[in-house]
Structure 1
Amino acid sequence: MTMTLSPDQEEALARKARLVAVVITVAMLLWMGAQWLGGRIGIDTRYVFLFDLATLATFFWAMVNTYQIWRTRRDSRG
C-alpha cells in the first residue's frame, strides 16, 4: 500500500528542506568567519574549539532532519 503525500505535506517537506539548506549555509559561513577572525585577533584555542563543536552540532541537526525528509518521501512512495 502506497501512501501519497498531500500537497500541504509536500510543501511542509520542501520548507523543511529549505530550512536545512539555509542552516547548513549559515553555519558554514559563520564557522569560516570565526576561523578567520580567530586567526586575526588570536582567540584562545578552546574558544575556537567551541565554534567547531557548535558547527558540528548544527551539521548533526541538519543530517537528522535530512534523514527524516528522506524517510518521509521514501515511505510515501511505498
Structure 2
Amino acid sequence: MTDEEQDRQLAARSRMVSLVIAGTMILWLVLQVVAPQLGLPGRYALLFDFAALAALFWALVVSFQIRRARKALRSKT
C-alpha cells in the first residue's frame, strides 16, 4: 500500500470519527430534551448517557490510532 493510499484511509477514518462525535452529541442533546417529554424513566436517560460515553470513548481511541499512524507515516518518509 502506498503512502498516498494510507493517507486517504486515515483521512476517511478521521471523517468517520468526526461524524460519530457530532452525531453522538446531537443525538444525546435531542434525547435529553425529548426523553422527559415522553415520560421515560431516569434509567433510560442513564442508558443514553452511557451509550454516548461509549461512542465518545471509541472516537478517542480511534483518534489516537490515527495520530500514531500518521506519525509513523511521516517518520517513514
TM (norm. structure 1) is 0.88
| Greater RCO (Cα-Cα under 8 Å, separation 6 or more) | 1
Instruction: Determine the structure 1 residue equivalent to 2:68.
Output: 71
1:53 aligns with 2:23: no
CA-atom RMSD, angstroms? Answer: 1.1
Identity over the aligned pairs, expressed in percent?
39
Aligned to 2:13: 16
One-letter code aligned to 1:52: D
Aligned to 2:6, the other structure's residue is in SS state helix
Deviation at 1:77, TM superposition (A): 2.2
Runs ≥4 residues deviating over 2 A: none
Q: Give 1 or 2: higher helix fraction.
A: 2
After superposition, what is the alpha-carbon deviation per residue over 1:3-56, rounded to whole angstroms, capped at 9, x for unaligned?
xx6111100000000000001111111100110001222310101000000000
Q: Which runs of 5+ in 2 are unaligned?
A: none
Q: What amino acid maps onto 1:10 in structure 2?
A: D
Number of equivalences: 74
Counterpart residue number, 1:43: 40
> What is the CA distance between 1:59 and its match in structure 2?
0.2
